[in-house]
Every structure is written in C-alpha cells, then in structure tokens.
C-alpha cells in the first residue's frame, strides 16, 4: 500500500499523543485533521498549524473525508465513538490507535466495525510526564518501540501499512506482537514500573527524607508524576496481566527481604549477580 501525500488523516483525540502524531504527519506532507471536545486544543492546534482542520463535535464532513483515522482517545471511548460515527466512514478506510492495552479493546472494536473497513491496533511506546496538545512533540518517537498488534481478522496488507506508519513516524524499532503478548509485556515493563514508582513515593510519610535523595531515588520516582485518570483506566483494562506481574514482583522482593533478614549472603549475592548480568546484557542492546 502506498503512502500518497495529501491523503487525509483524521486524528480523534488531540492530546499529547494525538498532537505528536499530527506534528509528525503534517511535517511529512499529509493533510491532517482532528476532532477533540476541548475547544482550546483544537484552536491552539489550528493557530499553530499542527492540524489543517479541526472540530469539537463529530463533524460528518471531516469524518467522511478521512482516508485514515487514528484514535488517540481514552480506551473505553473508542468503541462508542466507532459505533456512533462509522456510518460516515469512507468505504475501505483503515483505522489504527495508540492505546497502551490491547486484549480488552481490539477484539471488541473489530467486532462492532463495518465489514468494509479495517482496524489494525498499534502502540507507540512513547510519552512524556506532561499532557495535552501544547506539550506534544514528534521527537518523542525517536527512541520509541512501536508495536503493531494484529489479530486473525487483520490482513497482511494492513499489518504492513501499520508497520510503515511506525517507520515514517521515525521510531527506533517496529515489532509485531499478539494482543495477549503485548499486554503481558506492557504489564511488566510499563504498568508494574508505574505502580512501583507510586508506592515508593507514598510508602513513607517523612517528606524530609527526600531532601537527602540521590540519583537512584530520583530515577525510580520520575514516573511517579502520573495522570491518574488515564493510568487507572489502563490498569483496570489490563487487570489480569498486571496483577500477575505485581504478584511476581512482590514475591521476588519478599524473597530478597527474607535473605536480608536471615543474612543469607550466598542467595542474596546470587540475585545481585543475576540482576547485574541481565542489566549488562540489556545495556548492550539499547
């Protein structure tokens, strides 16, 4: 499938991620429009030429002109939006998303979708501690992993199209995972780490302690500044995979605590050697 400039891309949800997609795609020459119920976001994006056109309501004309629709909405809103607006879709268009969890939404979206259009899920693993279109930045893709998450319902053509989308956004690496594999991975490398950062920041009420902090505490709590609405929704929608990772981690940390309690140097050092070895290998692949 070719990318022809002046194809019209509609972004639904113009926050940090939607705005970053808009900037990247407009720079590449596409016609980019956006729908967001926040009027300030749409006005700001138009004034700053982040988008070519925009609307705060589900504008039939914008929707019916789109060759591609990218959902950068809170996950639970996507299915409803599609149900309400798919009668306006141009025949044969392709849809994708940016959502951080997949199993709980991809099958549902594909189930409600018109037969003649295709939804191929994607997750650009990029972000910032800030939110909103004013903080959007297409450089966030440079170091990102971009995961294409197909199901049995997807065509090879759509999978290739979606991989290509990641490449033109300028990501570091494009991969393909199933929804279940994706969600298990994200539960470990992203959701568990955010839970740990929050717990570390809230487990000790003595705020004077952080006056003395060094690099390690700073590193482990950087992501403790967290958008509570978005992450709560993402955690609940990936509950089973996340609970499994949290339990594994709590068990592992409890084991290490017991080694310390019993002054079991041999086992404690073995864990530290494994940890060092894995992290070294990991540094090499960065």
> How many residues make up the chain in this entry?
286
Q: Does 77 bind a copy of itself (CB under 8 A)?
A: no
Residue 61 makes CB contacts below 8 A (sequence gap 6+) with none
**Closest to 64 in 3D by CA, of 97, 35, 91:** 91
Residue 2 or 263: the one with the smaller Cβ distance to a copy of itself is 263
Our finding on whether 256 is near a copy of itself (CB under 8 A) is: yes
Could you say which residues in the range 205-234 bind a copy of itself, by CB under 8 A?
206-207, 209-226, 228-229, 231-232
By CB under 8 A, what part of segment 107-126 binds a copy of itself?
A: 125-126
Of 64, 70, 69, 72, nearest in space to 13 by CA: 72
The CA distances from residue 258 to 203, 268, 269, 270, in Å, are 19, 9, 13, 14
Interacting residues with a copy of itself between 165 and 194 (CB under 8 A) = 175, 177, 184-185, 188-190, 192-194
Number of residues that bind a copy of itself (CB under 8 A): 88
Out of 6, 57, 156, 281, the only residue in the binding site for a copy of itself (CB under 8 A) is 281
Q: Between residue 234 and residue 253, which ones bind a copy of itself under the rule CB under 8 A?
A: 235-236, 239, 242-243, 245-253
Residue 192 CB, shortest distance to a copy of itself, in Å, is: 7
The answer to whether 200 contacts a copy of itself (rule: CB under 8 A) is: yes
Element (H, E) at 223: none
Q: How many CB atoms lie within 10 A of CB 33?
A: 27
125: number of Cβ within 10 Å: 21
CA distance 50 to 60: 21
Q: Does 265 bind a copy of itself (CB under 8 A)?
A: yes
Q: Which of 63, 72, 101 is nearest to 232 (CA)?
A: 101
Q: Which residues pair with 122 in a beta bridge?
A: 148
Cβ closer to a copy of itself: 58 or 196? 196
Which region among 101-109, 113-121, 156-164, 204-212 touches a copy of itself (by CB under 8 A)? 204-212
Cβ proximity to a copy of itself: between 84 and 143 the closer is 143
């Amino acid at each position: 499938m070719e990318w022809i400039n002046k194809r019209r891309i509609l972004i639904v949800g113009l926050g940090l991620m939607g705005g970053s997609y808009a900037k990247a795609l407009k720079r590449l020459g596409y016609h980019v429009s956006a729908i967001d119920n926040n009027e300030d976001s749409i006005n700001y994006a138009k004034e700053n030429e982040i988008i070519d056109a925009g609307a705060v309501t589900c504008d039939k004309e914008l929707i019916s002109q789109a060759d591609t629709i990218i959902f950068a909405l809170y996950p639970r809103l996507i299915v409803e939006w599609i149900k309400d607006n798919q009668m306006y879709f141009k025949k044969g268009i392709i849809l994708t998303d940016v959502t951080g969890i997949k199993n709980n939404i991809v099958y549902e979206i594909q189930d409600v979708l018109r037969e003649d259009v295709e939804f191929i899920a994607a997750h650009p693993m990029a972000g910032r501690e800030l939110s909103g279109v004013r903080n959007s930045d297409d450089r966030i893709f440079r170091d990102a992993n971009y995961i294409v998450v197909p199901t049995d319902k997807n065509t090879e053509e759509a999978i290739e199209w979606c991989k290509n989308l990641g490449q033109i956004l300028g990501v570091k690496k494009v991969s393909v995972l199933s929804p279940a594999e994706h969600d298990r991975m994200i539960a470990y490398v992203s959701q568990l780490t955010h839970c740990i950062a929050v717990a570390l920041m809230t487990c000790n009420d003595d705020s004077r302690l952080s006056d003395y902090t060094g690099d390690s505490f700073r590193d482990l709590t950087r992501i403790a500044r967290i958008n509570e609405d978005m992450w709560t929704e993402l955690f609940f929608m990936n509950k089973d995979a996340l609970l499994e990772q949290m339990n594994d981690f709590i068990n592992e940390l409890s084991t290490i605590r017991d080694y310390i309690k019993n002054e079991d140097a041999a086992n404690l050092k073995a864990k530290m050697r494994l940890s060092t070895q894995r992290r070294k290998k990991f540094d090499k692949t960065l």
